[in-house]
């Protein structure tokens, strides 16, 4: 017998197996400007991503993949011309839609009330 896939399951009335969800492993609160803390998450493919920064602003909460600090020749973190610390992208989603879905999932796991201080 052929194992059912989504198409054969739909045709036979069966539901395909539910895909596992992202899981919040831990959170570290840290309020500094718009930053509200860091989340460690586990993706359905058993990959853990550590210290994803979580922010809150006028348009609500959002999260991103972690980045690494840019260092100068003396090993100190480099600052951008505006004075903010500089970071380099280490990983990125291949589309804005995937990045937005990742952000929404993390914010959902943490809870918006926790981020804005009301929860």
Q: Indicate which CATH number applies to the domain containing 25.
A: 3.30.1120
Note whether residue 72 is domain-resident: yes
Note whether residue 66 is domain-resident: yes
Note whether residue 11 is domain-resident: no
Q: How many domains does the chain have?
A: 1
Confidence (pLDDT) at 5: 45
**Stretches in the chain below the pLDDT threshold 50:** 1-12
Confidence (pLDDT) at 1: 38
Note whether residue 62 is domain-resident: yes
Half-sphere exposure (Cβ direction) of 67: Cα atoms closer than 13 Å? 15
In the three-class reduction of DSSP (H, G, I as helix; E, B as strand; rest coil), residue 86 is classed as coil
Note whether residue 7 is domain-resident: no
User: And the tokens for 48?
Assistant: 């853990």
Give the N- to C-terminal CA distance of the chain in Å, as an integer: 51
pTM assigned to the model: 0.71
Note whether residue 92 is domain-resident: yes
Confidence (pLDDT) at 113: 53
Domain that holds residue 111: 20-116
């Amino acid at each position: 017998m052929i194992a059912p896939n989504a198409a054969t399951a739909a045709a036979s009335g069966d539901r395909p197996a539910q895909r596992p969800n992202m899981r919040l492993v831990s959170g570290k609160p840290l309020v500094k400007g718009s930053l509200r803390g860091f989340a460690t998450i586990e993706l359905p493919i058993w990959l853990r991503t550590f210290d994803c920064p979580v922010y809150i602003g006028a348009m609500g909460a959002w999260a991103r993949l972690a980045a690494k600090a840019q260092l100068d020749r003396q090993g100190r973190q480099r600052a951008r011309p505006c004075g903010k610390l500089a970071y380099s992208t280490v990983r990125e989603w291949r589309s804005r839609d995937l990045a937005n879905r990742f952000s929404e999932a993390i914010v959902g796991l943490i809870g918006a009330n926790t981020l804005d201080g009301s929860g």
